[in-house]
Amino acid sequence: MSREVLIVDDDTDFVETTEIVLRSNGYLTRTAFNGEEALKRILEKTPDIILLDIMMKTKGDGIWVSEQIRLNESIKNIPIIMITAVNQDADMLKYHFERSAGPDSNYIPVNVFMEKPIEIEDLLAEIKNLLAAP
């Protein structure tokens, strides 16, 4: 049975390219282009793993989405790979760090961070690793 990946990013080029790569490697995909849409899709049908952009110009950023997922008992264990463009996201990460008084078990609750541009082999390896974890 194929595993399903939810791709959440407001960059349509990134979403389309990632979908092509994942589908060609046997994964099913669904997409969302903002945080609210992502949560709706997750609650409609739980994906096996989520690729989540950290900063989106649209409703709900990746930090907010990851926090909402981890607070919901029915979906809190879905593996999340957070996608970041480090240079663009540094200020937002600093803001979140200061707001939460530093890293703890709730600080940006994701499994893996990956930096754009993503190396395809690395992405596929992370997905495989997270889906194999108990």
Q: For position 61, what pLDDT does the model report?
A: 85
Query: CA 62, CA 52: separation in Å to the nearest integer?
Result: 6
- Residue 79 in tokens: 């593996």
Confidence (pTM): 0.85
60: left (phi over 0), alpha (psi -120 to 50) or beta: left
Which fold would CATH assign to domain 4-118?
Rossmann fold (3.40.50)
4 with 21: CB under 8 angstroms? no
pLDDT in single tens digits along all 134 residues of the chain: 799 999 999 999 999 999 999 999 999 999 999 999 999 999 999 999 999 998 887 667 888 899 999 999 999 999 999 988 765 445 555 445 444 444 444 467 889 988 888 999 999 999 999 999 87
113: nearest Cα among 43, 31, 29, 51: 51
